[in-house]
Structure 1
Amino acid sequence: MRRTFTLVAGALAGALTAGLLIGAPSTAAPAAPKPSAAAPATFTHPGVLVGTRQLDHVRGKVNSGSQPWKSAFDAMMASPYASLSRTPEPRATVECGPYSKPNHGCTDEREDALAAYTLSLAWYLTRDSRYADKAIQIMDAWSATLKEHTNSNAPLQTGWAGSSWPRAAEIIRYTYDGWPKNRIDRFAGMLRTVYLPEVINGSHSNGNWELSMMEAAVGISVFLEDKTSYDKALATFRARVPAYIYLTSDGDLPRTTPGSGLNTRDKIIKYWQGQSTFVDGLTQETCRDFTHTGYGLSAISHIAETTRLQGQDLYPEVAERLRHALGFQATYELGTAPPSWLCGGTVKRGLGPVTEVGYNALHNRLHHAMPSTQKLTEQQRPAGSNNLFVAWETLTHAENPN
């Protein structure tokens, strides 16, 4: 007879097919200890998602024509985000409803932020100042105009755009001399007054919301050198990751975040999209769709990458969950038929170009075997952009040892 929340034979077989380690069912795990302070004594710049040594490594590979970096670079430079004729489209108020309906400046803001980041990479890799100047033009246009985000998707929109802006600003501010200090200060003021208050307190919505918001909060805190916000964002992140990715060591039910209100079995199962069998690497949104799951996994990888650049590497802390989650989703993204216990036997694929950063860190640096993730990552190269907050990660992180 099947016991509720116990891994039955079908679940075990499916999980083993996915190449995952399944442990025996256990009781609920105790709450995680309160995280310690994480902010470095001195922030490293540029240090949001990419750092100087990484960028220099990429520049060498591109200049030598090595693959996959050269094809990734060519794809980036051929994209609209790298266009020197781009005209920014700033608004004083960006209004974003559910699924960006209404969409009053939502797409313009996200894509201008991605363009600024793309152009900053183009500047660093080519040393053509036109790209730096165009990135500055875009950042200046928004910092001179934007005052607020409104409607229900404001926190998520702010998280997405706010993840890209500091990546661009870090590269330009610390590797190019042409951005006047008064405009740097104005841009910093926009991040501090328009973006940071919208993301820093987190969210009890689906996990990808809070993870994307914390990515923005961490990156903004690095640019602002705001240790208090950095610590607060990482404390939220460290509570959210165990509540987003399940491990059998958590017990019969997934963990929850403080204040979530998920205090009964039924509430937790509903929050996990109706899934009642839990295995290593399942995420809170796996049974919603892989696209939103990809947003969450990408943000986890990005935050861990930034902490590594800032001197406190959180990859070892999240490695077990992240590697299982990437592998679990990759297995089904590659076409494996889901078993009946998983999402009713049907998954919505579409993970997106989100595996490169985590795969490089966990496989190439920490030496975890990740066959499914490796196959998917290599199959998707050169990874492009999801047009929200992910861009060019084969170029920046493929086989990057730095």
Structure 2
Amino acid sequence: MANPSQSPRRRRRPVLVAAFAALALLASCAPGPHVSSASAAGHANPAAPVFHHPGVVVGRSQLDTMRAKVRAGQEPWSSAYEQMRTSRYGSLAYTPHPAEVVPCPPDAGPPACLDEREDAIAAYTQALLWTVNGNEAHARKAVEIMDGWAEVIKQHTEGNADLQTAWAGSTWARAADIVHAGYPQWQGPAVQRFKRMLRQAYLPAVTAKVPDYNGNWELAMTDAAVGIAVFVEDDKVFREALDRYRARLPAYFYLASDGKLPRPPPGGSMNTPDRLATYWFGQRTYKDGLGQETCRNFMHIGYALAASGHIAETAWQQGVDLYGPTARRLKEALEFHARYQLGAEAPDWLCGGKVQRTMGPDVEVLLNHLQNRLHLTLPETRKLAEQQRPGGTDDLFVAWETLTHALNPGTAG
């Protein structure tokens, strides 16, 4: 992380193993038929699909269900809404802190590094509040925050730049997609300026290739890339993000069907037994559901699970099923880590018998799909989600997912 004064969940930074050039990922899949809004004018490909809005992590039917549950006073949505409403992010007096340059050195970022993430979460929070209570002041506050950053931000710098850009960029895209889809007062030059901000100050960083970094980096970066692609309606970036998820997820969470060793990250150098063991933080016994950072701590595993859910959910909202081909891998990863997060004793073969149970509110999106759409049974993950509810925010890129996704399958597009 960036700032040593932050809470433990903010403070720890994914460790760089090594940096090497990666092979470019070829795009191969277009959104399916479950999409409904017109694509951007002047799109380079006349046959390109249209995109559905809102459709970045949360879709219209889910927002409608969320609103109805809250207004009816039903749990856990009512408590989740109150938690969000009374948070500092939900205040109409919230003051954004836009900056031209956001420097994020490892473990020692200045306030701007934290300010940007918090401002993005505040914009998303205000968008959700407006969705539920209909108070236009919240929509105006979200626009105020987004416009403020769009007018000044130029770049992110220093060692954590890509990760910072990913965390903030994914949240900006969620906020912007909800507001632009339903608030006609935010149109024209202001929206185009915000899209230009995402293209120029975020996309170059979140589409960079970092195969030998810890895998939560690339998954978080892909989360931002796919969300931005939907909002700005860029089919090429969208397809590339889907392919990156397909290639990276199997290199992060292990299944016995992969073979005796985990799959190496595509395009990287972690391709021998010893290098893989080092990359997996000393782990040499691999079992279903184990993650590349399990023996580091569960906090970073939580980041990877949350980002994976965001990517797959955004794709699903656009009519592309990333979940199906990876459902077993996701289920095993969720159940494996939820079991130990809940207190099960770690065996000697796992991280020397010691695990750091530091997972945040990261499982709601994946649990919603696997349990409520695919009707799979995930007893450990369900128990963990119920203990964590109402899940709030990690102040990075996960926010209010009990409110938006608990028991809320919705419909694609």
Are 1:365 and 2:357 counterparts? no
Residues 234/192 of structure 1: CA separation in 2 closer, same or farther (3 Å cut): same
The question of whether the paired residues in 1 share the 8 Å contact of 2:27 and 2:239 is answered with no
- Give the aligned partner of residue 172 of structure 1: 179
1:390 equivalent in structure 2: 398
- Name the count of aligned residue pairs: 369
Alignment of 1:3-402 (within 5 A): 36-40=28-32, 41-99=49-107, 101-204=108-211, 205-402=213-410
Identify unmatched segments of 5+ residues in structure 1. Answer: 1-32
Q: What is the distance in 2 between the residues matched to 1:34 and 1:183? A: 33
Distance in 1 (alpha carbons) for counterparts of 2:99 and 2:303: 25
The answer (yes or no) to whether the contact 1:166–1:223 under 8 Å persists in 2 is: yes
Distance 1:104 1:61 in 2: 37
Q: 1:35 to 1:209 in 2, by over 3 A?
A: same
Q: Quote the residue 1:3 is aligned against.
A: none
Q: How much does 1:39 deviate?
A: 3.8
1:343-377 Cα deviation digits (max 9, x unpaired) = 01100111100011111110111011101001101
CA drift at 1:263:
2.2
Alpha-carbon spacing, 1:193–1:229, altered in 2? closer, same or farther (3 Å): same
CA distance in structure 2 between the partners assigned to 1:387 and 1:324 by the alignment: 27
CA distance in 1, matches of 2:209, 2:65: 35
Three-state SS of the structure 1 residue aligned to 2:152 is: coil
Identical pairs, percent: 53
Cα separation, 1, equivalents of 2:331 and 2:161: 31
1:368 counterpart letter in structure 2: L
* Alignment partners' CA distance in 2, 1:146 and 1:104: 15
Q: Deviations over 1:161-188 (max 9, x none)?
A: 0010010000100111221411100000
Q: Secondary structure at the match of 2:202?
A: helix
Secondary structure of 2:102's aligned partner: strand
Q: Which amino acid aligns with 2:201?
A: V
TM-superposition CA deviations, 1:330-354 (whole Å, max 9, x none): 0000001100110011001111000
Question: Residues of 2 paired with 1:103 and 1:136: CA distance?
Answer: 25
Stretches (4+) displaced over 2 A: 33-36
Deviation at residue 201 of structure 1 after TM alignment: 2.5
- Report the TM-score, using the length of structure 1 for normalisation: 0.90
Aligned residue type for 1:166? A
Measured after TM superposition, the shift of residue 38 of structure 1 is: 3.1
Letter in 2 for 1:227: D
TM-aligned CA deviation for residue 258 of structure 1: 2.2
Helix, strand or coil at the partner of 1:94: strand
- Tell me the distance in 1 between the aligned counterparts of 2:358 and 2:154: 34
Single out whichever of 195-204 and 129-138 deviates more from structure 2: 195-204
Q: Secondary structure at the match of 2:147?
A: helix
Report the Cα distance in structure 1 between the residues aligned to 2:348 and 2:178, rounded to whole angstroms. Answer: 47
What SS does the aligned partner of 1:341 have? coil
Q: Is the 8 A contact 1:96 1:103 kept in 2?
A: yes
In the alignment, the residues of structure 2 paired with residue 180 and residue 366 of structure 1 have an alpha-carbon distance, to the nearest angstrom, of: 38
Which segments of 5 or more consecutive residues in structure 2 lack a partner in the other structure? Answer: 1-24, 33-48
CA distance in 2, matches of 1:135, 1:149: 22
